[in-house]
Amino acid sequence: MRVIATYRLQLSPAFTLRDACSLVPYLRELGVSHLYLSPVLQARRGSTHGYDVADPRRVSDELGGESELRRLCEAAPGVILDVVPNHMAASEEENPFWRDPKLRRRFFDLDETTGLHRRFFDIGELAGVRVEDPEVFATTHEVVLRLVREGLVDGLRIDHPDGLADPRGYLERLRAEGVEQIWVEKILEPGEPLRDWPVAGTTGYEFANDVQALLVDPAGETTLTELAGEPRPWPEVAAEAKLEQARTTFAPEVERLRRLYDRPELEQALASLPVYRTYVEPWSGRVDDLDRTAVAHLPRELRRVLLLGERGHDEFVTRFQQTTGAVMAKGVEDTAFYRYVRLLALNEVGGDPGRFGISVDDFHQANLERAARFPNALLAGTTHDTKRSADVRARIGVLAEIADEWAERAARWRELLAHDGPPDWTEELLVYQTLVGAWPLEPGRLEAYLEKALREAKRNSNWLEPDERYEAAVKRFANRLYEHDRFRADFEPFAAEVAARGERSALAQLVLRLTAPGVPDVYQGDELTCLSLVDPDNRRPVDWRRRRDALASGDSPKLNTIRALLGLRARRPATFAGAYEPLTAPAGTCAYRRGDDVVVAVAVRAGSPEVALPPGRWREVVRLAPAIVYERGPSPATGTST
């Protein structure tokens, strides 16, 4: 079945497969073709996310078991499952493969010297799986592959392929087993191409970052840089955080590498890779030019080993590649993103906070490449892993348009709220941007977010040895903002102005996501304004009644736009599977044609979207302040839009 749009549902003991089944009529009316489910296999008891799989041979009892999954698959127009091949829960009580010593050695990636399993990032409770072993693959994928073969499941989303010993081989095995549609949670750095794997594409973080960058006004960069007070460029901040992680959190992984090939510069090498990982294959001798480029800066001897110029170090090469992604993720996403606060809208998974905006031409080029190579890649806005929802990012991104006013306000608040001790200016600026992006934000949610942000930043607190006194002081500061009359009087009108501008930006990004090459993905609840922060905030319960009522009443511009444009995609599947042609448009407008019968015009700056329509008869499908979408239709041509 052709995938028109996916809708991500986060299953948990509080939202089961039966609950998901009750949403099918609503999602059909919205125009969604596929439910995109979080992991459904048996996880640890009480798991709220499903990524800590304890027994992959059965569907989670707490979610309803296989009977409820089958019922959902039969009711839904289509289903995509999220699969976790890289790790399982290291639990003797709940995981039969971990409990049995023989099975543990067969199924899990254990260090023969120490018996210290390979972890998922820094989480010791999750153990790396040897899915490259045919028996392990067959056992851990039996349920999922059976559902695919029976036609109940249309495709798979593969979690963290960079942790696998052989990503390409794993994906080829899935394809050989009959899985026709595969999406990989592969984080690409800006400009990095996805390898020629047998997949439909990525889960879409590169699109989320590109579309946000398109809407960021580069004119605000100097002012916001000065306001943040960070003298170093982003690459230096990121490199410092990655090296810290290599030397501390991942010291056990580094020591394992040293036992395989002892080089003094290992930590520096792990931290200096410009991408998440390379994909050299010692077993086949395959080395790509992209791999050579990625390690070109490393010391000669190490580079020679990593590029298979000196054989006999195959295990080291494999382990090194499995480790760099973890160092990148923990160093950048979970550390540096919380230290570099110039414009938090750019601090997103797969993003580059040093890239302050992109041009319309750059955006077109990325779309052309996706249309040519992976036309069915997912297009993400908000996900379960985003640091902020798309609507929050849109609001914060607006600050680049009004950089001078923002700098004046922030400086005024700093003076108004003068305090001795925590927070420091970096943390204070993070608080202000968070409030602007998610207002109105309940104090409890802000407190929980700040605790996580402080510990992730690892500047004045951390997860291993949290400075609870410091954290309490920052929370007191944040709570004081809610009670400070002069601050509220100045902040709230400004937040309202930003929210109005942010809604325009969010709608512009939404139209681009629903019409660009690829498959648009909607995160649960995000069809209405969604002001969520990093997990677990983005897994809060969704008010489904409110969304059903809004769909019926038609009073939500965001929801109406989704329904209208998903309807357009359903009416014209060949159009959206086909050509993408950039159109000439005035400065500040991004315009393009899909096939011969759809034209899109989006204003990326203040102003109205304008484009000269091709000859023919056109009608408006969607008209919003920042965007217009035209479809060939019976009404007379409207000429140039206004």
**What tokens were used for 21?**
């089944």
Q: What distances in angstroms separate CA 301 from CA 263, 296, 305, 313, one per listed residue? A: 9, 11, 6, 12
**What tokens were used for 61?**
């009892």
Q: Interior CA angle at 447 toward 445 and 450, to 5°?
A: 110
Q: For position 125, what pLDDT does the model report? A: 95
Q: For position 633, what pLDDT does the model report? A: 84
Q: For position 624, what pLDDT does the model report? A: 97
Residues of the chain falling short of pLDDT 70:
635-642
Q: Is 368 helix (H, G, I), strand (E, B) or coil?
A: helix
Q: For position 1, what pLDDT does the model report? A: 76
Q: For position 589, what pLDDT does the model report? A: 97
Nearest alpha carbon to residue 194 among 186, 205, 204:
186
Q: Is 331 helix (H, G, I), strand (E, B) or coil?
A: helix
- CA pair distance 172, 151, nearest whole angstrom: 20
Nearest alpha carbon to residue 446 among 479, 414, 493:
479
Q: For position 517, what pLDDT does the model report? A: 98
CATH 1.10.10.470 fits domain 401-500: yes
Q: For position 54, what pLDDT does the model report? A: 98
Q: Are 622 and 511 in contact (CB under 8 A)?
A: yes
Q: For position 115, what pLDDT does the model report? A: 82
Domain boundaries defined on the chain? 231-339, 401-500
Q: Are 426 and 228 in contact (CB under 8 A)?
A: yes
Q: Are 535 and 383 in contact (CB under 8 A)?
A: no
Q: What are phi and psi of 205, to 5 degrees?
A: -65, -35
Q: Is 281 helix (H, G, I), strand (E, B) or coil?
A: strand
For 216-226, the pLDDT digits (tens) are 999 999 999 99
CB atoms within 10 A of CB 383: 23
Q: For position 641, what pLDDT does the model report? A: 37
Q: For position 543, what pLDDT does the model report? A: 98
